[in-house]
Amino acid sequence: MSAHSDDAEQIPLEEVKNSKNGAANATTQDDDDASKSERIIYINDKARNAEEKFSRNNITTSKYTILTFLPINLFEQFRRVANAYFLFLLILQCIPQINALNPVSTAVPLVIVLGITAAKDGVDDYKRHQSDKKINNRNATVLQDGSFQTTKWRDVNVGDIVRIENNQHIPADILLLSTSEASMFCFIETADLDGETNLKVRQPLAATGKIGVNEGSYVNFTAKLRSELPNNQLNKYQGTLEYNGETYGIDNEKILLRGCILRNTNQIYGAVVFTGKDTKLMQNSGSPRFKRTRLDRVMNSLVFMIFVILCCFSLVGAILGGLWESRTGIYFRAFLPWETFTHNSASIGALLFLSYIILLNTLVPISLYVSVEIIRLGQSWTIDWDLKMYHEKTDTPAKARTTTLNEELGQIEYVFSDKTGTLTQNIMTFDRCSILGTVYGDPELSERSFSASKKVDFSANRYHTPKFEFSDQNLLQDCQIGVKPVHEFFRLLALCHTVMAEESDGELVYKAQSPDEAALVEAARNFGFVFAKRSSSMMILDCLGTKEQYELLCTLDFNNVRKRMSVIVRQGNEIILYCKGADTVIYERLDGSNPEIQRKTTDHLNSFAGEGLRTLCLAKKIIDPKFYTEWKMRHHAANTASVGRDQKLDAVYEEIEQNLTLIGATAIEDKLQDGVPETIANLSQANIKIWVLTGDKQETAINIGYSCRLLTENMDEVFIINGSNPESVKSSIENFQQRIADIKRQSQGENDVRTSHEDQVNVFGLVINGDSLAYALEEDMKFEFLKLASECNAIICCRVTPLQKALVVKLVKDNKNAVTLAIGDGANDVSMIKEAHIGIGISGQEGMQAVMSIHGRWDYMRMCKFLNYFFYKNFAFTLCHFWFGVFSGFSAQAIYDSWFVTLYNVVFTSLPVIGLAILEQDVNDKYSIRYPKMYVPGQQNILFNQKIFVVSLFQGVCTSLALFFIPYLAFYAGAIDYNGITLDNLQFLGTVIAFTLVIVVNLQIALYTKYWNIIMHVFIWVSTISFIVYAFLFYSYVFFSLSASQFSYVRIHFQVFSSPYAWFVTAVAVVFILTPSVLREYFSTTIRPSLTERIRWQQVKHGDIDDGSLHSATVKRRRSTHSGFAFSQEPGISNVVCQDNTNSRSTPVPV
């Protein structure tokens, strides 16, 4: 049998030189022309490869160096409009002629923001430097100066011959030349590339594979490789190798990619094809993206709007100020002369415009951005410290690696998830079985009772594996007493597979490409039917201590069409076919001799499938030797056919796999992460669409889809797109769109005549493989594909590459006004995690991901309350300056003490709003999960949008009017305190307004607060009385003596706090301002409460709920008619593990 894989991509004939001298006679000009579309590599010839200037093998993901950090980082920060604006404002404040405020009020917060951001960027980049250094300094063994020497990965070059040991990472994309195995194959793990932990098999060319581990032969080894150019296609490679005068086609089965790990193979030798950024792993790695939340974008637009409002107020103030100077101020020039640099009222108006920009700059305060950074940091700590997201077994807490995306977790509409390690643990366990109508391991169906909590003791079997568990003692007893059907059941499991067996440290170890097969062979082993050894023509079992030797005559391979595999073995004079596969294909080929057994087994299969288990049917057949001899000739003819080989083999297999006798069925559990079905149900009720993007095969992905209840039997239809060309994919998309329209039309008609008030809701699923997805993502088809996918509630994309994952996320992100989240556990998920609005990396064992969405809902609600309150309090605070301008000739005179302006957002109002934005909870986590519909407001931007922003500004304007005019009118008539001192001076008025403002805004946030705790009490009441402490310090003689110009409000606090009239005015203003807010709060919580408010009152009334109700969404457990079958091996694998002797370097040792 040829070593060349029939599934590999064929090399075009014009690129292959068939004559021995073809390569030698090729001219240099031919090479130059070819190099435009291909890469020519001279293996083991450093000098010639150096001329090509291929990429180095080091990788760089960092952004800065020590010298470039400060200038580049500052440049990037000042590219942000907000930072540039505040720098401009600081420059203006340094001009004394136009400044009414202390420049420190802007300088200190700006330096803090720039410093914190620079420090964070520096730490992140340092970590990238460390990661790059660690990877680039890994050791590699390279042929240099006539021997294999240890060097660093960064020094590996294209064309080098490398040696890789077992369990080592592949340092670059290499062409496999030879292995240490007699059969010339090696196993690799590709989890970092495609997410699959199943081992893949690779095999070199027979011509180079015969070199084996003879390192001396590589010293003078030379060859010329014509390779394709670097690209991101993980599953395809095309090239030709010219070696010893012959030309050989090279396909993907002979290439090992960077990111793979060598497994179960002592060592291999290979030639480097692609290095560094040219490797397929790096070609699939997306570039880093700076992610901004939806609220960030809204906030930026609103800040711009506020800046426009600021300019409008400043322009109005400047115009009115200029008019006042020209009409009224001219009479005061005798004792209020104009500055020497002003010549007329117009120039004064221009200066007033800049002065008002400075005076009213707190409408867009830099403290907003400082507060947001602090709040997000605090919110990320609440995620890090959440014990419900702590995985005790691995001591792994949740870790928010970015502080900028917390609230966006509360607005997610699309979740893109990897499967292996994310939805599943990729741990297969033999859970139960049915043997000739008798079920084992199912306490509900078993005819004999057993304790499900008591595990079977396998210690009497010296081959048992401690991790294997089974709960039904009856199966082991039937094995031990010699029940023949049970023996035949496990004998089939021990023979019908492609697993390899070897001894390691005295222990029998299995090398399995498929975890399903490994689970079945391990089950047979623990029940006493031990697969001990295989060669290309022989298999040896240890059956309950007795050696049994079988001649392996033929392996009938598995593929997605056949959905089964068979082995034909001979023991003595008896030829037996053992077959395992999906129930549908096995039942079609049974002899029908025992319908009662078939009926019982069908019931058992339905029960197993209803529990989400992956099932296989087992059958056998005794073959007449004469028939087998004739069939073998037909098989040989089909196997050597040059045209239509696969179809002819399928026909020959079909011929012999008939009239089978049913033995039983197996049920394997692909263990899901904890709480996955319940979490998916909760997310669905929260209006979140789930896409599973996996590198697994279609059937495996579909099985998991049903197991985790992503796909259900309640769906109207599950569409599968399996097109092999653009036309078929487009046709499928159009047909399915029409089918959905027809179903909806039919359902609408039924709803029209339905007497019930509950209308039928249509639910669809979609499954598409990687090849079809490649066509569906093309420019002329991607929008139709997205339209179809948008009609479906669950989408599974299987056999997809890392880049395809990112492209799918990008398609949804760019064309849907929705927040996307990507979650994965491997390097193959990095691209989609980078592309999504939010990326979550998990260590593979955490469950309870719904808790993350609870934090997101809380953080979104908190941030909305924060923004609503922040804009309100700053408008209320700032516009008092403008109203005072009406009575001060619009001179841009501040109504407050300049230090109060500086400390307003830092001291008097910062703690309550930060506490609210970090600690606030409308309802607790348990009620949040019980009622997923509360998540919907975040998706629809209900809690903060332009309408709410306008209402907030209107409330702030009204508050500022009341804050200014109530005290102003109260003191206007020349009020006098009990000491006979007048109360109509600027300092007295400004202090009363400031004191009233602090009380109002802190009581206002008390009205916003739903979750009261000791921290919020301290923050609110301490902030309220902090003004009194401030007044006694900053208005004292001590501070006045330090700087009379800076602390001019000397002893004004005694006059204010000792005046009953001032306290009365303050109380009246507070009540007047807060009354509408109290009434609005009463109306929104009592008269017309929202869903959240109704649930909050339910929590107040009924108290907490049990943790057992955490996953409250109902997950319907109906018996499924979908029967997932447990196969995930690569088609053609038996050709490698069961190959003819002609493909190995030496004849297998007889056994």
Catalytic residue check, 742: no
Q: Helix 625-639 to helix 645-656 angle, to the nearest 10 degrees?
A: 170
Contacts of 128 (CB under 8 A, 6+ apart): 61, 62, 63
CA–CA distance, 836 with 293 (Å, rounded to integer): 11
Tokens describing residue 107: 């300088």
CA–CA distance, 721 with 728 (Å, rounded to integer): 9
Amino acid at 974: G
Strand partners, 502: 509
In terms of Cα–Cα distance, which of 1134, 1144, 1141 is closest to 6? 1134
CA–CA distance, 937 with 410 (Å, rounded to integer): 9
**Are the beta carbons of 172 and 57 closer than 8 angstroms?**
yes
Residue in 278, 418, 542, 583 annotated catalytic: 418
If phi over 0 gives left and psi between -120 and 50 gives alpha, with beta otherwise, what is residue 678? alpha
For residue 874, CA distances in Å to 146, 881, 981 come to 76, 12, 32
> 11: which DSSP letter?
P
CA–CA distance, 164 with 443 (Å, rounded to integer): 49
Rg for the chain (alpha carbons), in Å? 38
596: exposed, middle or buried (Cβ count in 10 Å: 0-12, 13-18, 19+): exposed
Query: Any idea what the Cα angle at residue 680 is, between residues 829 and 817, rounded to 5°?
Result: 65
Cα first-last separation, the chain: 22
DSSP assignment of 1080-1142 equals: HHHIIIIIS--HHHHHHHHHHHH----GGGSS-S----PPPS---B---PPTTTHHHHT--GG
CA–CA distance, 691 with 798 (Å, rounded to integer): 11
User: What's the residue count for the chain?
Assistant: 1151
CA–CA distance, 844 with 826 (Å, rounded to integer): 9
Amino acid at 349: G
Residue 897 host element (H or E): none
Contacts of 972 (CB under 8 A, 6+ apart): 984
CA–CA distance, 132 with 1143 (Å, rounded to integer): 41
**Are the beta carbons of 389 and 851 closer than 8 angstroms?**
yes
221: exposed, middle or buried (Cβ count in 10 Å: 0-12, 13-18, 19+): middle
CA–CA distance, 124 with 106 (Å, rounded to integer): 27
1057: exposed, middle or buried (Cβ count in 10 Å: 0-12, 13-18, 19+): middle
**Are the beta carbons of 1078 and 1071 closer than 8 angstroms?**
no
Half-sphere exposure of 518 (CA within 13 A, CB side): 22
**Are the beta carbons of 808 and 834 closer than 8 angstroms?**
no
CA–CA distance, 994 with 1027 (Å, rounded to integer): 8
CA–CA distance, 940 with 943 (Å, rounded to integer): 8
For residue 452, CA distances in Å to 435, 490, 585, 1056 come to 19, 22, 32, 79
Interstrand relation of 689-693 and 412-417 (parallel, antiparallel or unpaired): parallel
**Are the beta carbons of 182 and 192 closer than 8 angstroms?**
no
Annotated active-site positions, please? 418
